[in-house]
Amino acid sequence: MKYKRILLKLSGESLMGDKQFGIDHNMLNQYAEEIKTIADSGAQVAIVIGGGNIFRGIQAADGGMDRVQGDYMGMLATMINSMALQAALEKLDVPSRLQSAIEMNKICEPFIRRRAVRHLEKNRVVIFGAGTGNPYFTTDTAASLRAIEIEAEVVLKGTRVDGIYTADPEKDKTATRYETISFDEVYEKNLNVMDLTAFTLCKENKLPIIVFDMNKKGNLKKVIDGEKVGTLVSL
């Protein structure tokens, strides 16, 4: 195993599967099984999941809603996804804890760094919900921040695409995939990996990022074992 403690970032949209909205339970269960595999192998797993399958604060702002209000609604959407993922993991007998940046004592713990690290040391999967708890910050930024706080070795960004390409592979058939790329090259080529705040946090803290296809079964295990899957972004 190459990576012992990881932060897995999942998009809310990926939970939709073939649906137009909400949670596809087949996709949710597939993700839970992939996470169980690496947790059973001894990896310490923390997760941040977006809420775009339910609500996006930026889109609400585009429609005239107050941006701050929209962002808080988006944070609640991430909690719905986090609770669903926790339920799917526990159905597979994977011990887990959900921590929220906004206190919701009836359903989860508040985010406390030392407690989160202790859970990881006891091989419990820790899910971080509600983003950073602040408007104007994305769940990508929450993932980078939490990864740094818990001293994760890598941020794994699970997407529907198998890495970072020279151009959008869904639009440009000539686009080629990078196996490795530096943070500076991503800036220079203006490639869309994460939002700039999240990406800069990783660069400044020397935290590598791996972008990979989470929907392909077995990929997550291959990544933590150090196999060449997806694209590695590092200094």
Rounded CA separation 218/8 (Å): 15
Report pLDDT for 172: 87
Six-digit token string for 145: 């921040």
Element at 125 (helix H, strand E): strand 125-129
Cβ atoms within 10 A of the Cβ of 113, count?
12
Query: What structural domains does the chain harbor?
Result: 5-234 (3.40.1160.10)
Q: Which of these, 5, 1, 2, lies nearest to 151 by C-alpha position?
A: 5
Is 6 in contact with 156 (CB distance < 8 Å)? yes
| 122 SS3 class | coil
Are the C-beta atoms of residues 158 and 214 closer than 8 Å to each other? Answer: yes
Asked whether the whole model's pTM tops 0.85, one would answer yes
Whether the Cβ atoms of residue 219 and residue 212 lie closer than 8 Å to each other: yes
Along the 235 residues of the chain, how does pLDDT read in single tens digits? Answer: 899 999 999 999 999 988 889 999 999 999 999 999 999 999 999 999 999 999 987 777 788 889 999 999 999 999 999 999 999 999 999 999 999 999 999 999 999 999 999 999 999 999 999 999 999 999 999 999 999 999 999 999 999 889 999 988 878 889 999 999 999 999 999 998 999 999 999 999 999 999 999 999 999 999 999 999 999 999 9
